[in-house]
Amino acid sequence: MTYLRYLSLSGLVVIAVLLTACGANEGILKAGKPDPNLANATPQVQTVERDVADMATADFTTILVLRRKDGGKMDAEDRAVIRDATAGANRRVASDGDKAFIIGSNQPIPPEKMLILGQRFALQIEAWPQAPEPSNTANANSNK
């Protein structure tokens, strides 16, 4: 009888350990739920100055700020024009409560596209690629 008692006691211990070890993981249960500490926090509005600084930190050679001429929010048609005119741009960021778009690019924006942007938007140029300085390579291969 001692053997049966030992076996049943061992079985109960194993079952107890399994039941306590298989509890719900609180981290998984809370994943995806909003943090109550952040529920009352107001979302930060991206400012143009901060976004321009971010573009400069990313070393874009061209940084443009576009705003509607009437000062309103950018609508779907505005966004489509910006997307088409800056197709080669590296980054486009809506800022200032959708009243401005900041474009960062390492490729020059073609003059005809700049004309389209200038006609439709108030255009502010924050950075523009400089023309390369002329090099004096004409005499580099001379045998003098």
Report pLDDT for 40: 59
Report pLDDT for 20: 67
Report pLDDT for 1: 59
Query: Exposed, middle or buried: residue 46 (CB in 10 Å: 0-12, 13-18, 19+)?
Result: middle
Report pLDDT for 136: 53
- Of 112, 136, 130, the C-alpha closest to 61 is 130
Q: Please state whether the predicted TM-score (pTM) of the whole model is above 0.85.
A: no
49-84 pLDDT, tens digit each: 999 999 998 989 999 999 999 999 999 999 999 999
Report pLDDT for 144: 47
Domains of the chain with bracketed CATH = 48-127 (3.30.70)
Q: Per-residue b/e over 70-104, b at no fewer than 16 CB within 10 Å?
A: eeeebeeebeebbeebbeebebbbbbbebebbbbb
Report pLDDT for 128: 85
Q: CA–CA separation, 54 vs 60, rounded Å?
A: 10
Residues in the chain: 144
Residues with Cβ < 8 Å from 73, sequence gap 6 or more? 97, 98, 99
Farthest CA pair distance, the chain: 113
* Residue ranges of the chain with per-residue pLDDT less than 50: 140, 144
